[in-house]
Amino acid sequence: MDDHQGEYITEEKRKALEIELKELQTTRRKEVLDSLEFAKSLGDLSENAEYHQAREEQGKLEERISKIERILKESIIVKTHHSTKVEVGSTVIVKKAGEKEPKRYQIVGSEEANMSQGKISNRSPIGTALLGHKKGDKTSFQSPNGAIEYTIVEIE
């Protein structure tokens, strides 16, 4: 694994972020500006809850736009691919010691991590433990409940 400290995102996540960014920069910005104009028309801004709420929404919107732009600019795009070792973008089937059923995980950047979808961050304890290993390897990591051992059954 390289020492790059940037974030990793899949091609699908990049496309989803580009769509969200376009929506935020066009439709949502216009809605927020319309809200601000309406709130200003109500008069006294110091006592105007609608104005303050619209300003807060505008701040959150611009913050999200900046975050997405930063992610798109700085992230490394990884494609789902087959490899002989676990890397970002790999889908890996692992068997936890003491359990019968194997689990399937996709190793992704932290921006996409979602345990319920089986997407684990390359920076998570399990993600870090799996990276660089091959089919048949045993690896473990420390959890709050002690060491957890996994065997890599397959790399897809």
Q: Which of 1-10, 106-115, 128-137, 141-150 has the lowest mean pLDDT?
A: 1-10
**With bands split at pLDDT 50, 70 and 90, how would you rate the model's confidence at 77?**
confident
Pick the CATH number of 80-155 from 3.40.470.10, 3.10.50.30, 3.40.50.620, 3.10.20.30: 3.10.50.30
Give the pLDDT of residue 8: 86
Residue 48 has pLDDT above 90, yes or no: no
Determine the average pLDDT of the residues in 124-143: 92
Q: Could you count the other beta carbons within 10 Å of the beta carbon of residue 51?
A: 20
List the domain boundaries for the chain. 8-77, 80-155
Give the pLDDT of residue 136: 93
Give the pLDDT of residue 3: 41
* Residue 155 to residue 91: CA distance in whole angstroms: 6
Q: Which of 9-18, 77-86, 126-135, 141-150 has the lowest mean pLDDT?
A: 77-86
Averaged pLDDT score across all residues of the chain: 89
Residue 25 has pLDDT above 70, yes or no: yes
CATH of domain 8-77: 1.10.287.180
Amino acid at 48: N
3-state secondary structure of 138: strand
